[in-house]
Amino acid sequence: MKKYQSFLTDILKKYESYRIASGRTSYSYIKNLIFFDHYCAKEYPLAERLTQEMVDKWCTQRVTECNNSVISRVYPVISFLRFAKERKFIDVQLPLIPKGTPRIYIPHAFTRKELSNFFCACDNIDPKYGPNREMRKITIPVLFRLLYSSGMRTTEVRLLKCEDVDLQNGIISIKYSKGYNQHFVVLHNSMLELMKTYNSAVSKLLPNRIFFFSTTKNKNYPGAWISYYFRKLWQERNETKAIAYELRHNYAIENINNWIGDGLDLHTKLLALSKSMGHSDIESTKKYYALVPGLASIIEDLSEESFNDLIPNIE
C-alpha cells in the first residue's frame, strides 16, 4: 500500500522533506498526515484539489475526543496546511482548534532500590533470538544509563549520531531535539568511560555505523523499542509502574535536590540545568521545583520575598 494515496501526495512529500531538512523528524506528525491523506482519498476519491469542506470535516472535534485529543490529531494537519498555504499550493482557511486543557501529570518518583533493580536487569539481559542479539545485549545497559545520567530525551538518544559524540572531551552535541533547539550535554566521567567501552565493542561489530546506538542494519532504534525494553526490564524486578521518559524527570529532580546546602545560587544552576536539558526557556525548568518534596519551603525560607519571582505558583 502506498504511503500517500490522495491528490495531496506531491505536496505532502514536499512537506515531509521540509520537516526533515529542518531537523524536525516526528513519526507522530507523519502518522497523522497519513491518516488525513487516506481520509481525503476515501471520502473524496475524484477530488483534484483541497476544499474547505474537506478540511473542516476532518478538523471538527469528534464526540469521542477531549480537547487535548483533537489538538494532537489536528495540529500536525494544520501545520501542513500552513506550509502549503504559504507556498500557494492550496487556498483554504486554517480551522480553529479548541484550547488545550492543562494536564495534571506527576512523574514516578524513583527510589534507589528500584533503579538498582532496573539496571541489574539491564546488565543481565539475555536476548534469546534475532540478528540484533549481541547488539541489544551491549546496547541496553549503556543506553538506559545515558538517559538516567544525562537527562536527554529518548528521541535525542535514539537519533544520536557517532559524529555528534565527542568521546575525547565527553561532550554530546544534540541536533535532533524537541523542535529545533541544538544544545550540548557534558558527560559524567563514569558515563564517558562506559560510552568509550561501548563504542569500542560496537565498532567491532559494525565498523561504519551512522548512529551511536545502532541496529545491525545501520539504523536507529525506533521509539517503541525503547519503551518495550524499559517496560520489560522494569517489570522484571519492580512492582511499580514507570516509563523510560521519566528518567529525564528524575535527572532534573536529583540535580535540584543536590542544590540544598550548596548556597542555592539559583540563577546560575537553574540556567545550566535548563540549557543542558534543552529547554526552550527557563520557565520549563522551574516547573520541576513543584516535584521536589520539601524543597520549595527551604528555598522560600532562604530567599524570602524573592521566592515568588523565581518559582511559579503551581497547584
Q: Which residues contact 78 (CB under 8 A, 6 or more apart)?
A: 59, 94, 95, 97
Report how far residue 122's alpha carbon sits from residue 228's, in angstroms, rounded to the nearest whole number.
Answer: 13
Cell of 81: 496546511
Which of 223-232, 248-257, 268-277 has the weakest average pLDDT? 268-277
Taking residues 17-29, what's their average pLDDT?
Answer: 78
pLDDT in tens, 152-178: 989 899 989 999 999 999 999 987 655
Which of 30-44, 75-89, 140-154, 294-308 has the weakest average pLDDT? 294-308
Examine the pLDDT at 256 and tell me if it is beyond 70: yes
The predicted model scores a pTM of: 0.67
Q: Check if the beta carbon of residue 16 is closer than 8 Å to that of residue 30.
A: yes
Q: Check if the beta carbon of residue 133 is closer than 8 Å to that of residue 139.
A: no
